[in-house]
A and B are shown apart, each in its own frame.
Chain A
C-alpha cells in the first residue's frame, strides 16, 4: 500500500487533490481511498487530506501516520506543523514553491529521505500561467506522477479532466503536464 498525505490551506484544493489522485489510481485498476482530515473548514486554515493506493481492497481507515509521500501545497506550513511527521525513510517530499530547498530551511526533513525523493515544483506559478488561478493542486499531481511513479501522467490527466470538465480541465491539464516536464527534465539533468 502506498500512502500519500497532502498538506495545504483551505481553498487550495487539497481535498480535491487527494480525490483526483485516487481517481487516477482507480483508472489504472488499483484500489484507492481518499479522505480529508475533517476539520472546521475555513479559507486559509491548515487542511490535510489523505490518499491510499493499493492492489487489493483497502480496509484501513485511520489518518495516515506514516506516509510514503508528503505533498506540501503551501510551504508556510513548515513553520506551523510538522508536515513530514512519520514520513517513511524511503519516502517522497514534494513542495509547492518556486524557491529552492535551501531557501526553505527544511534540512532536518531532507536529511531523513533520499535526496532524489525530495523535489520542489513551482505549482502556483504554473497554475497562474495556465489556469489563471493560484490553485496548485493539479500541477503538483503532475510533479507527483513524474517523481513517484505510482500513477502515470495519463491517468492523472484523465482524473483532472473528470474533476474539471471543459476548458478549465484542459488548462489544468497543461499545468500538470508542465510540472511533470520540469521534474523529468531535472531528473535527466
Chain B
C-alpha cells in the first residue's frame, strides 16, 4: 500500500514483513529509527516470533546475529560508520562462516573527525569482507532491497548489507509502497540453513584452517560472489514480476544508449544526477548515467558493457581512500581495462561528511570532463582558498593547532565578509 512515510519506518515495516526471528542492534545515528520501528512492531505484536534484543555494543549486535543465524534463526541487525568498524571483526567472521545475516547500513562518514552525516566511507571500509553490498537509490528501493537481500543471502548463505544514505534517505519522508505480507511470503520462504547447530546432528563450526586449505576456502567464497552476480539479476527479475517494480539488480542505465559522457554513481545522488542529465540533454549534451546498485560483488562485465562506447566516464565517489583516491573509481578503472577504445576516466570525490551536492556543481563537473579533463581525484566544491591557507599555516609551526578549527574559523570569516558585502 502506498504511504507517505519516513524512509527508516518504511524499512522497518518491510523488514518486519520478512519475518526476521532475531533482531539485535545497538543505537547509532542514523539507523536508530529503523531498529526502534522494529522494536515497536514486536511489542505491538505485529511482528510475531521475533526476539528483539538490546545489546551493549555493535560488536555484540553482530555477534548475537551470528549465534542466532548459526542456530537456525533468520537474523537482522543495522548499523553505520563507527558502529560498523566496531563490529568489523564480526563482519569478516560472518562472511567467513557463511551466515546469511542481513544488515542495514545507514551510510555515514567515519571519523576522526567525528561526523554524523552521509557518505559511503563505512561501506567502503568493509568492501573486502565478503559481504554482498547493495546500494539503494530511493526509499522505495531501500525497502525493496531488504526483501531481495534476505532471499539472496539465504540462497547463497552469504551475509548481505543494504546500504542506505544516512539522513538523505533514512530521514526523508516520501512515498513508499509497502508490500503486503502474502506477497513477501511468496517471494521469501522460511529460512532453511545450510549449516545448523543441532544436538541431533552435531557439527563443529569455526575451526582453524591452516595454510594447506585456507586458499581453497577463500576461493570458494570468491566463487560464491561470482555466482551471486547472476542470482542478483534473477531475483530482481522475479521481484519485478511479483511486485511490479524494477529495483535491485546489478546496475541501471539512464540515457546511456548514445552517450559520449557517462556518469557512474551509487546511492541517492543518482536522483539528482538524473535531473542534471535531463537538463544537459535539453542543451544538446550527450550524457548518460549508470547507477550501480550492486557494489559487491562488483559487476565488472555488466559495467564494461555499459561503458564500452562512451568517450568519457566520470566516476562519482562519496568516499575517499585517503592514500589513493576514489575507491569506486579504482574499481571502475579495472572494469574498463582492456576495452579496445577505453573511455577516459575522471574521478570525482563528492559529498564527504554530508556536504550537499547541488545540481549546479554537478553541471559544472560534467561539463568540465569534456572541456578540461582531469584524471586524478577532483574534490567537488573544495574550498581551495581555505585549504591553501591551512597548508601554509601548518608549514609555519610544528604545533599549529587543530586544522578543523582553523578551517571553520576561516569559513566563518568568509561568511561574515559575504554578509557585510550584501548589507546596505
Task: Please give the residue numbers on chain A whose beta carbons come within 8 Å of chain B beta carbons, in ascending order.
Answer: 18-19, 22-23, 26-27, 31-36, 38, 40, 58-63, 65, 82, 108
Q: Which chain B residue has the least Cβ–Cβ distance from A31?
A: B175
Q: Give the interface segment out of B181-189, B208-216, B353-361.
A: B353-361
> B252: CB under 8 A from chain A?
no
Q: A61-B271, A61-B272 given; name 13 further pairs at CB < 8 Å.
A: A22-B4, A23-B173, A32-B174, A33-B174, A34-B174, A35-B173, A38-B116, A38-B167, A59-B270, A59-B274, A61-B172, A62-B356, A65-B358
A36 near B271 (CB under 8 angstroms)? Answer: no
A60 near B356 (CB under 8 angstroms)? Answer: no
Task: Please give the residue numbers on chain B whose beta carbons come within 8 Å of chain A beta carbons, in ascending order.
Answer: 4, 6, 116-117, 167-168, 171-175, 268-272, 274-275, 354, 356-360, 419, 422, 424
Which residue of B6, B269, B271 has the most chain A CB atoms within 10 A of its CB atom?
Answer: B271
Q: Which chain B residue has the least Cβ–Cβ distance from A108?
A: B424
A35 near B168 (CB under 8 angstroms)? Answer: yes
Question: Which residues of B are found within 8 Å of A40, using beta-carbon distances?
Answer: 116
Cα A27 to Cα B173 in complex, Å, equals: 14
Question: Which residues of A are found within 8 Å of B274, using beta-carbon distances?
Answer: 59
Q: Which chain B residue has the least Cβ–Cβ distance from A107?
A: B424
B175 near A60 (CB under 8 angstroms)? Answer: no
B359 near A60 (CB under 8 angstroms)? Answer: yes
B269 near A61 (CB under 8 angstroms)? Answer: yes
A38 near B171 (CB under 8 angstroms)? Answer: yes
Q: Which chain B residue has the least Cβ–Cβ distance from A162?
A: B4
Question: Which residues of A are found within 8 Å of B116, using beta-carbon distances?
Answer: 38, 40
A33 near B358 (CB under 8 angstroms)? Answer: no
Cα A33 to Cα B321 in complex, Å, equals: 32
From known contacts A32-B4, A35-B167, A38-B117, infer whether A59 and B172 are also in contact, taking CB-CB under 8 Å: no
B271 near A60 (CB under 8 angstroms)? Answer: yes
Cα A149 to Cα B359 in complex, Å, equals: 27
Cα A19 to Cα B173 in complex, Å, equals: 6
Question: Which residues of B are found within 8 Å of A60, using beta-carbon distances?
Answer: 271-272, 275, 359
Question: Which residues of B are found within 8 Å of A19, using beta-carbon distances?
Answer: 6, 173
| Min C-beta distance of A15 to chain B, whole Å | 8
A26 near B172 (CB under 8 angstroms)? Answer: no
| Min C-beta distance of A2 to chain B, whole Å | 15
Cα A60 to Cα B269 in complex, Å, equals: 8
A22 near B171 (CB under 8 angstroms)? Answer: no
A59 near B173 (CB under 8 angstroms)? Answer: no
Question: Which residues of B are found within 8 Å of A27, using beta-carbon distances?
Answer: 4
Question: Which residues of B are found within 8 Å of A18, using beta-carbon distances?
Answer: 173
B173 near A34 (CB under 8 angstroms)? Answer: yes
Question: Which residues of A are found within 8 Å of B275, using beta-carbon distances?
Answer: 59-60
Cα A84 to Cα B371 in complex, Å, equals: 35
B167 near A34 (CB under 8 angstroms)? Answer: no
A22 near B173 (CB under 8 angstroms)? Answer: yes
| Min C-beta distance of B222 to chain A, whole Å | 35
A36 near B272 (CB under 8 angstroms)? Answer: no
A62 near B268 (CB under 8 angstroms)? Answer: no
| Min C-beta distance of A111 to chain B, whole Å | 11
| Min C-beta distance of A14 to chain B, whole Å | 13
A35 near B358 (CB under 8 angstroms)? Answer: no
Cα A65 to Cα B360 in complex, Å, equals: 10
The contact sample of 28 A-B pairs, CB cut-off 8 A, is: A19-B173, A22-B4, A22-B173, A23-B4, A23-B173, A26-B175, A31-B175, A32-B173, A33-B173, A34-B172, A34-B174, A35-B168, A35-B171, A38-B117, A38-B354, A58-B271, A59-B272, A59-B275, A60-B272, A60-B275, A61-B168, A62-B272, A62-B356, A63-B358, A65-B358, A65-B360, A82-B419, A108-B424
B269 near A32 (CB under 8 angstroms)? Answer: no
| Min C-beta distance of B178 to chain A, whole Å | 14
| Min C-beta distance of A81 to chain B, whole Å | 9
Question: Which residues of A are found within 8 Å of B359, using beta-carbon distances?
Answer: 60, 62
Question: Which residues of A are found within 8 Å of B271, using beta-carbon distances?
Answer: 58-61
| Min C-beta distance of B40 to chain A, whole Å | 15
B172 near A33 (CB under 8 angstroms)? Answer: yes
| Min C-beta distance of A66 to chain B, whole Å | 10
Which residue of B175, B272, B360, B419 has the most chain A CB atoms within 10 A of its CB atom?
Answer: B175
Which residue of B6, B173, B270, B272 has the most chain A CB atoms within 10 A of its CB atom?
Answer: B173
User: 5 closest A-B pairs (Cβ-Cβ)?
Assistant: A59-B271, A26-B4, A35-B172, A34-B173, A38-B167
Question: Which residues of A are found within 8 Å of B171, using beta-carbon distances?
Answer: 35-36, 38
| Min C-beta distance of A93 to chain B, whole Å | 18
Cα A40 to Cα B159 in complex, Å, equals: 33
Question: Which residues of B are found within 8 Å of A36, using beta-carbon distances?
Answer: 167, 171
Question: Which residues of B are found within 8 Å of A22, using beta-carbon distances?
Answer: 4, 173-174
Question: Which residues of B are found within 8 Å of A62, using beta-carbon distances?
Answer: 272, 356-359
Question: Which residues of A are found within 8 Å of B175, using beta-carbon distances?
Answer: 26, 31-32
Cα A36 to Cα B173 in complex, Å, equals: 10
| Min C-beta distance of B116 to chain A, whole Å | 8
Cα A31 to Cα B275 in complex, Å, equals: 16
| Min C-beta distance of A25 to chain B, whole Å | 8
B356 near A63 (CB under 8 angstroms)? Answer: yes
Cα A38 to Cα B30 in complex, Å, equals: 10
Q: Which chain A residue has the least Cβ–Cβ distance from B168?
A: A61
| Min C-beta distance of A8 to chain B, whole Å | 17
| Min C-beta distance of A79 to chain B, whole Å | 11
Cα A34 to Cα B174 in complex, Å, equals: 7
Cα A7 to Cα B241 in complex, Å, equals: 44
Question: Which residues of A are found within 8 Å of B174, using beta-carbon distances?
Answer: 22, 31-34, 58
